């Protein structure tokens, strides 16, 4: 007798066939296909619901959806069921918006694991191209390549108006390259000085024919040096400074040199020197220079205050679990900007997301402040966060961008001093400490309460490829991340130099400028490799990475010049109103089809008209990757400054007391310009000021010259 066997029941599986889709706002509808497998003899249903909490598009105004909706699969059907949503084509210029849907409540079926949520990007078709005022225009006059890229570099450059020479820090080649800047803005080589006998070069500054190079030790964790050369590269003197001097600059009055000594650790953290700042007294010139002229200032006063500093937003996290760094070891000075009065220096501590203020008179730090983060949930702070989406999708996300500034610059408007910061971003990557991880990595768990759609966020076309830090964001110490912190602000910031308060942040403007550029939008967020540019391959990192920044005064306007390390080029802003900067121009010389042109801009120098061999203002850009130095002439709208005769000042200029026995001299009106000695060498640069500090100037006759052409004589007794 044969026994009957019951058939194994067929259980249908219902799933979404994809996780994301990009739909143009003006497409009319968005279609979301839902599929079924192993369909049985009975009908199956599933609800599609709108997910609250992960979306920026609004039901009812951006799309039409009554949640939930039920899809029915007839018995035996293998055909997809489509959810069709109506889209609203509004006329608002805005970034990409998105919404998320979820499958739930199946009947006669189960949901496929990991295939139940769907994110729909709505790509805006009304994106406004940022307006460039072009009150000034930059035109590339010339460029010089100091050797093959990869075997040479051009990272930092310094200009000496007394000799019209450029001095270029070539760290890969281990050289100081000397170039001559001609009257038409072209560059010709003069000499290359081998730096390797002293160590390796990181930065260079020049003043009246004296060249100062920041040199790291051949053992980088040991004290470095500043080596002085004459205008032709002949050795003059050498003094010792802190470990790994990364940047050096003269104070505006020429009496001091300030070096930022980064003090990076060995890769295993076996040796972690303290970060310091060295102040070199240069009042007596190179002849009076000795080791006693050097004061190196550290941060030991902050040791023991790590919890308070972290609470204030300063990142203190270096070292290993068994041997954490002290605060003084953890703070790593990156770059220095000196105020126009030569009394205060501002030092970026990039990896620490902070700025230190240094009193150059007392040689003590007076403040240590966090520069905060970009809240990418807020309007105006969108970012393109994935290199895997085919489109540029500048959207708001529940992440925070640590500004981590590289170069700062100072400027004064209306009697108030401001700081500009280029918010590049940087991560510590050592064998003993690697903080950068992909958000999608299993080793970066997201808190289920804070991020209930964690699986969707970890998708490669959402945030899964974004580089984030694993050293911040676990607010309750339970091993998962309650907040997401990415690297870099993709912006520049303007801070009140006195209080540290944020006055303005450019938000997503730099990505909007480059993505909508008629030429360079084709290589949006490309990296700075010398090969063919790949569009969007830095979107998952730090985007355009603003790195170099400087200011210059032309007529009565303060301009900020921001170099973009990755895509390349330079963005110019009018910052006369620090709370509302105006975009002036974006200029780039990189090829969009090959690895040619200027790539990887880092060092940036503004040359005023009175200091320029062309008699027009210049921008000099050192491009690290292409190993090129580019010269841009600046033309004010409606004038040809390179050939125009000097203008007659509309308002006379007077100085008092005059003669003076020293101290502070007052001017009859605020000006930008220079103070020059009897052989027409600039000895002071003036920026929107009605005062001159004469300390350090020898007795004699000087000429004060405003950029509008007005002059007055000044006698110092």
pLDDT in tens, 104-152: 999 999 999 999 999 999 999 998 899 999 999 999 999 999 988 889 9
Q: What is the CA radius of gyration of the chain?
A: 29
Report the alpha-carbon distance of residue 113 to residue 49 in Å, rounded.
17
pLDDT band at 678 (very low <50, low <70, confident <90, very high): low
| Contact indicator for 508, 571 with CB cutoff of 8 Å | no
Q: Is 463 exposed, middle or buried (0-12, 13-18, 19+ CB in 10 A)?
A: buried
Question: What tokens appear for 149 in the block?
Answer: 């890229």
Instruction: Extract the runs of DSSP E, i.e. beta strands, from 171-316.
Output: 175-181, 187-194, 200-207, 210-216, 223-229, 235-243, 245-250, 256-261, 276-281, 294-297
Whose CA is closest to 247, among 355, 371, 407, 367? 407
Report the alpha-carbon distance of residue 539 to residue 188 in Å, rounded.
37
pLDDT per position as a tens digit, 258-291: 999 999 999 999 999 999 999 999 999 999 999 9
pLDDT band at 18 (very low <50, low <70, confident <90, very high): very high
Report the alpha-carbon distance of residue 717 to residue 707 in Å, rounded.
26
Within 8 A by CB and 6+ apart from 70, the residues are 45, 46, 47, 48
From residue 521, alpha-carbon distances to 392, 518, 563, 591 in Å are 9, 6, 17, 12
Within 8 A by CB and 6+ apart from 69, the residues are 47, 48, 83
Report the alpha-carbon distance of residue 401 to residue 468 in Å, rounded.
9
What residue segments make up the domains of the chain, in order of their start?
13-123, 136-157+261-426+488-601, 655-716
Identify the DSSP state of 395. Answer: B
pLDDT band at 640 (very low <50, low <70, confident <90, very high): very low
Give me the mean pLDDT over the 344-369 stretch.
Answer: 98
How far is Cα of residue 580 from the mean position of the Cα atoms in its chain?
Answer: 19
What's the maximum distance between 2 C-alpha atoms anywhere in the chain? 129
Within 8 A by CB and 6+ apart from 643, the residues are 615
Between residues 453 and 656, the one the model is more confident about: 453
pLDDT per position as a tens digit, 600-616: 999 999 999 999 999 99
Dihedral angle, C-alpha 243, 248, 251, 254, nearest 10 °: 100
450 pLDDT more than 80: yes
Tokens 């570099």 belong to: 153
Lowest mean pLDDT across 314-328, 591-605, 703-717:
703-717
Within 8 A by CB and 6+ apart from 705, the residues are 610, 673, 674, 675, 676, 711
Tell me what percent of the residues of the chain surpass a pLDDT of 90.
83
Within 8 A by CB and 6+ apart from 47, the residues are 68, 69, 70, 71, 103, 104, 105
Q: What is the pLDDT of residue 688?
A: 77
Question: What tokens appear for 170 in the block?
Answer: 């070539």
Whose CA is closest to 422, among 341, 542, 519? 542
Q: What is the pLDDT of residue 15?
A: 97
Q: Is 663 exposed, middle or buried (0-12, 13-18, 19+ CB in 10 A)?
A: exposed
Lowest mean pLDDT across 200-214, 319-333, 676-690:
676-690
641 pLDDT more than 50: no
299 pLDDT more than 70: yes
Computed from CA positions of residues 408, 411, 417, 420, in that sequence, does the dihedral angle turn out positive or negative? Answer: negative
CA angle 240, 243, 246 (to 5 degrees): 95
702 pLDDT more than 90: no
| DSSP 3-state of 399 | coil
pLDDT band at 476 (very low <50, low <70, confident <90, very high): very high
| Contact indicator for 667, 653 with CB cutoff of 8 Å | yes
Q: What is the pLDDT of residue 127?
A: 83
Q: What is the pLDDT of residue 650?
A: 44
Report the alpha-carbon distance of residue 128 to residue 557 in Å, rounded.
26
571 pLDDT more than 80: yes
Report the alpha-carbon distance of residue 391 to residue 387 in Å, rounded.
9
4 pLDDT more than 70: no
**13-123 has CATH 2.60.40.2030 classification:** yes
| Contact indicator for 87, 361 with CB cutoff of 8 Å | no
Q: What is the pLDDT of residue 83?
A: 95
187 pLDDT more than 70: yes
Report the alpha-carbon distance of residue 528 to residue 650 in Å, rounded.
46
pTM over 0.95: no
421 pLDDT more than 50: yes
Q: What is the pLDDT of residue 7?
A: 58
Q: What is the pLDDT of residue 712?
A: 84
pLDDT band at 654 (very low <50, low <70, confident <90, very high): confident
Give me the mean pLDDT over the 4-9 stretch.
Answer: 58
668 pLDDT more than 80: no
Whose CA is closest to 685, among 322, 330, 342? 342
Within 8 A by CB and 6+ apart from 462, the residues are 19, 20, 119, 385, 386, 456
Within 8 A by CB and 6+ apart from 6, the residues are none
pLDDT per position as a tens digit, 491-508: 999 999 999 999 999 999
CA angle 506, 130, 386 (to 5 degrees): 65
**N-to-C CA span, the chain:** 129
């Amino acid at each position: 007798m044969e026994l009957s066997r019951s058939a194994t029941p067929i259980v249908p599986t219902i799933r979404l066939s994809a996780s994301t889709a990009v739909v143009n706002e003006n497409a009319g509808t968005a279609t979301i296909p839902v599929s079924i497998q192993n369909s049985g003899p009975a009908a199956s249903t599933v609800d599609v619901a709108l997910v609250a909490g992960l979306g920026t598009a609004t039901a009812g105004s951006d799309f039409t959806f009554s949640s939930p909706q039920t899809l029915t699969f007839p018995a035996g059907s293998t055909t997809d069921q489509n959810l069709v949503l109506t889209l609203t084509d509004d006329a608002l210029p805005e970034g990409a918006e998105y919404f998320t849907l979820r499958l739930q409540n199946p009947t006669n079926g189960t949901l496929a694991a990991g295939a139940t949520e769907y994110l729909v990007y709505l790509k805006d078709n009304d994106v406004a191209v940022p307006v460039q005022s072009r009150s000034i225009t930059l035109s590339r006059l010339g460029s010089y390549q100091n050797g093959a890229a990869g075997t040479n570099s051009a990272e930092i450059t310094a200009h000496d108006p007394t000799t019209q020479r450029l001095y270029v820090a070539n760290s890969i080649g281990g050289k100081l390259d000397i170039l001559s800047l001609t009257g038409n803005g072209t560059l010709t080589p003069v000499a290359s000085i081998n730096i390797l006998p002293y160590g390796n070069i990181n930065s260079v500054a020049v003043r009246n024919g004296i060249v100062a190079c920041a040199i790291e030790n051949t053992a980088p964790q040991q004290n470095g040096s500043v080596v002085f050369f004459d205008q032709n590269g002949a050795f003059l003197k050498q003094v010792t400074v802190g470990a790994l001097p990364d940047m050096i600059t003269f104070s505006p009055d020429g009496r001091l040199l300030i070096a930022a000594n980064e003090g990076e650790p060995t890769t295993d953290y076996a040796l972690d020197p303290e970060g310091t700042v060295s102040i070199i007294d240069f009042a007596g010139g190179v002849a009076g220079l000795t080791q006693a002229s050097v004061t190196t200032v550290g941060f030991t006063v902050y040791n023991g205050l790590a919890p308070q500093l972290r609470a204030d937003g300063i990142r203190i996290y270096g070292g290993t679990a068994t041997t954490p760094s002290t605060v003084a070891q953890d703070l790593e000075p990156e770059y220095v900007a000196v105020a126009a009065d030569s009394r205060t220096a501002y030092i970026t501590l990039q990896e620490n997301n902070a700025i230190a203020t240094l009193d150059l008179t007392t040689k003590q730090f007076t403040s240590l402040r966090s520069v905060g983060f970009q809240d990418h949930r807020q309007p105006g702070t969108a970012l393109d966060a994935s290199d895997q989406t085919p489109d540029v999708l500048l959207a708001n996300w529940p992440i925070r961008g640590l500004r981590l500034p590289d170069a700062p610059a100072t400027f004064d408007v209306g009697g108030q001093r401001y700081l500009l910061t280029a918010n590049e971003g940087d991560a510590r990557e050592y064998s003993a400490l690697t903080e950068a991880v992909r958000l999608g990595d299993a080793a970066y768990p997201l808190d289920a309460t804070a991020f209930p759609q964690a699986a969707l966020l970890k998708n490669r076309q959402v945030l899964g490829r974004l580089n984030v830090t694993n050293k911040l964001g676990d607010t309750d110490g339970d091993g998962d991340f309650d907040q997401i912190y990415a690297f870099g602000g993709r912006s520049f910031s303007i801070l009140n130099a006195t209080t540290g308060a944020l006055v303005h942040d450019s938000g997503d403007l730099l990505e909007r400028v480059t993505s909508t550029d008629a030429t360079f939008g084709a290589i949006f967020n490309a990296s700075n490799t010398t090969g063919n540019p790949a569009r969007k391959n830095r979107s998952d990192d730090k985007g355009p990475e603003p790195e170099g920044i400087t200011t210059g005064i032309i007529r009565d306007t303060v301009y900020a010049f921001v170099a973009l390390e990755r895509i390349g080029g330079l963005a110019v802003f009018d910052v006369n109103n620090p709370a509302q900067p105006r975009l002036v121009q974006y200029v780039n010389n990189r090829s969009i089809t090959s690895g040619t042109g200027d790539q990887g801009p880092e060092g940036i120098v503004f040359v005023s008209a009175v200091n320029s061999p062309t008699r027009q203002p210049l921008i000099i850009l050192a491009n690290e990757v292409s190993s090129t130095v580019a010269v841009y002439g600046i033309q004010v709208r409606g004038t040809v400054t390179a050939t125009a005769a000097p203008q007659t000042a509309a308002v006379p200029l007077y100085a008092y007391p005059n003669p003076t026995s020293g101290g502070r001299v007052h001017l009859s009106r605020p000006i930008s310009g220079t103070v020059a000695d009897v052989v027409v060498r600039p000895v002071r640069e003036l920026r929107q000021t009605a005062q001159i500090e004469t300390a350090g100037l020898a007795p004699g006759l000087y000429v004060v010259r405003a950029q509008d052409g007005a002059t007055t004589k000044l006698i110092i007794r």
